[in-house]
Structure 1
């Protein structure tokens, strides 16, 4: 019987390494518009997001949004939306990713309070759905197709 890894690679999936943090989040490297950053993979986040302070770093063009964000202990947060961005994770690419920008300082403060490194943003269910994502928790890997 083939392993999960062998089976998924045979089916055309790309394997990406995930790195558990001291807070039990899964962290990964990814490129937004060709620029590398550090992200938490969050299955509970409906949309991928980046902190306002990193918008220019990733060359995001954004517009104010009427949608208020909630999550990670905060609600009714002002947001901006950046449409049509590219996302590259390992050898896998998504060409039209919409990214929500909002204040992630509470997330990074929580990480830093546990001696974890801050992140540029969060990759959410939009990426997992778009890439038919499969997470292998035993081996800390993400498979995307």
Structure 2
């Protein structure tokens, strides 16, 4: 019996010492706060701040071919579209794609294809990017009627899907994977 007590006492002492010298104190899972930002940054996402326009659109600045531009996000747009009147502003080479575009307030819009563009949003840089050019006059006319600044382009589902976008609407943050 004395031997069992000594073994149990030795076990308790070893257990207490191990607990005393443990350097990592973990909170119970139910007390831990999850941080979407921390999780995504560790997973190589870039955090980009958005502004909500009075029209309800999400706005972001970027640089296209080294030139600052004004863009909105449109999760329903199949492609990223640059206003064709800005072709020279952004130093874009373009060819007629033979396709016609349709968007809110516009149909039968001539589309141009532009390859090998450099698009930078915050810390995220996308090289050799293919983009579409078409008139966004109908969009800018609507913005003008609301007293809003014209946009240079629309960031569409091609970039949002390719960069595995996560939009935190409540905090107006766009996360894109590097």
Specify the TM-score bucket, using the shorter chain as the normaliser: over 0.9
Does the 8 Å contact 1:22/1:115 carry over to 2? no
Equivalent residue number for residue 67 of structure 2: 35
- Ranges in structure 2 where 5+ consecutive residues have no aligned partner: 1-32
Distance in 1 separating the partners of 2:37 and 2:161: 19
* Structure having the larger proportion of residues in helix: 2
Alignment of 1:57-96 (within 5 A): 57-96=89-128
Match of 2:79 in 1: 47
Please give the per-residue CA displacement for 1:73-124, whole angstroms capped at 9, x wherever unaligned. Answer: 2111111110121111100111122111111011001111111111001110
Which position in structure 1 is the counterpart of 2:137?
A: 105
Question: Which gives a bigger RCO, structure 1 or 2 (Cα 8 Å, sep 6+)?
Answer: 1
Alpha-carbon distance between aligned partners in 2 of 1:57 and 1:127, rounded to the nearest angstrom: 21
Residue in structure 1 matched with residue 148 of structure 2 by the alignment = 116
Whole-Å Cα distance in 2 between the matches of residues 117 and 84 of structure 1?
28
Q: CA deviation at 1:2?
A: 2.4
In 2: Cα distance, 1:122 partner to 1:18 partner = 14
Structure 1 alignment gaps of length 5 or more? none
Q: Please tell me whether Structure 1 or Structure 2 has the larger radius of gyration of its CA atoms.
A: 2
Moved over 2 A (4+): none
TM-score, scaled to structure 1? 0.96
